[in-house]
Structure 1
Amino acid sequence: MTPQDAPHILVIDDDPAFNRVLTRALGQRGFTVFGAQEAETALALAHEHEPEYVVLDLNIDGSSGLRLIDPLLAANPDCRILVLTGYASIATTVDAIKLGAIQYLAKPADVDAILKALQAGDVIIDDELNTSPMSIDRLEWEHIQRVLGENDGNISATARALKMHRRTLQRKLAKRPVKE
């Protein structure tokens, strides 16, 4: 396979170190990889190269990466989009899939897991049902994520909807999600 024939992958992540490491690792596996750290560059690369695969961070410079799914699919309707996030929640998973992403993985995810998810035929769902209920902290996290999604990521509007002080909400969002 020549470099021109190699599948194209677009990595969109605002963390320069993660972006560089992931693009290098994917390139070493035979892909033609393009990296972008902001939305405008990502969309320009998507229109120029029409990548077969996109690895999209959920949070791009404080804004939702989900808003890029439609324009990315407009650039190449057949591209397979994987959403990566350090703050996984049920609400954002559902939103990502509804918008057209084919997979959703929580960070840290290794290159093999990313490639497996991108190349899987269907959405990978862990079919082992968790029979224990979610903890109160996890339920709170999921509820906050749902309301945040309903408010398009606007912290102030979310805090008002939750009847919570904005700084309190920001503190809760800065923490990693609690385990179930």
Structure 2
Amino acid sequence: MTTEDKDKPQLLLVDDDEIFCSVLKPALEKRNFQVTVAHDVVSGIERAEKTVPEYAVIDLRIGYDSGLEMVKKLMSLDCNTQIVILTGFASIATAVEAIKLGAVHYLTKPANADEIVAALYKNEGDSSVSINDHPLSVKRLEWEHLQKVLMQHDGNISAAARALNMHRRTLQRKLEKKPVKE
């Protein structure tokens, strides 16, 4: 590690998509970060405990684990860590929980390196964000409700399925589908 690298802020990237990480890591390094990559929550926590990052980009769904656990752990190590959650499975429930746990931003995939860096440095809300005039579709409402119940049961699919009076496999299939936009 050069002296120049030591001056760069530490960024932890945790995502189970190795190809995505292999593209994002050099893009973030070009934007003056020293990037450490992990592909699962356990190795992400190990890397964070070794060197607490100033910044982190965490996937919401890391294999079968929740990136929200990673946010919680990072905040316990250093409450000043700037964390952005990235997800292809966005929901209101997970966005709210991510922010409550300490993330500064929540981005949906695909997001490019410039959007991620802007989110890492964004510390205030934007009151000029437009409000959608159209109500959510029934399919989107169902997705949001499933996510909310799942969050209420700490990500336990069996407990959430019981609460929804639904078979566990049915709930798993519904959760594996990507949410509809509206």
Is the TM value for this pair above 0.5?
A: yes
**Superposition TM-score, scaled by structure 1 size:** 0.93
| Deviation at residue 91 of structure 1 after TM alignment | 0.4
| Deviation at residue 70 of structure 1 after TM alignment | 2.3
**Superposition TM-score, scaled by structure 2 size:** 0.92
Q: In the alignment, which residue of structure 1 is the partner of 2:65?
A: 63
8 Å contact from structure 1 (residues 58, 66) kept in 2: yes
Q: What is the CA RMSD across the aligned residues, in angstroms?
A: 1.6
Q: Structure 2: how far apart are the matches of 1:162 and 1:149?
A: 13
Q: In the alignment, which residue of structure 1 is the partner of 2:50?
A: 48
8 Å contact from structure 2 (residues 56, 83) kept in 1: yes
Q: In the alignment, which residue of structure 1 is the partner of 2:138?
A: 136
| Identity rate, percent | 49
> Comparing 104-113 with 37-46, which one deviates more in the overlay?
37-46
Q: Structure 2: how far apart are the matches of 1:125 and 1:89?
A: 20
Q: Structure 2: how far apart are the matches of 1:163 and 1:12?
A: 34
| Deviation at residue 114 of structure 1 after TM alignment | 0.5
Q: Structure 2: how far apart are the matches of 1:148 and 1:154?
A: 7
Q: In the alignment, which residue of structure 2 is the partner of 1:23?
A: 25
8 Å contact from structure 1 (residues 103, 123) kept in 2: no
Q: Which amino acid aligns with 2:160?
A: T
- 1:92-135 CA-to-partner distances (Å, cap 9, x unmatched) read 00000011111001111111110110011224577201122111
Q: Structure 1: how far apart are the matches of 2:161 and 2:127?
A: 32
Q: Which amino acid aligns with 1:152?
A: D
Aligned residue for 1:2, secondary structure, equals helix
Q: In the alignment, which residue of structure 2 is the partner of 1:88?
A: 90
Q: Structure 2: how far apart are the matches of 1:124 and 1:96?
A: 17
Structure 1 unaligned spans of 5+: none
- 1:6-25 CA-to-partner distances (Å, cap 9, x unmatched) read 11110011111112221121
8 Å contact from structure 2 (residues 11, 55) kept in 1: yes
2:168 is the counterpart of 1:162:
no
Aligned length: 180
Shift of the 166–179 alpha-carbon distance from structure 1 to 2, 3 Å rule, reads same
Structure 2 unaligned spans of 5+: none
Aligned residue for 2:4, secondary structure, equals coil
| Deviation at residue 77 of structure 1 after TM alignment | 2.0
Shift of the 89–44 alpha-carbon distance from structure 1 to 2, 3 Å rule, reads same
Moved over 6 A (4+): none
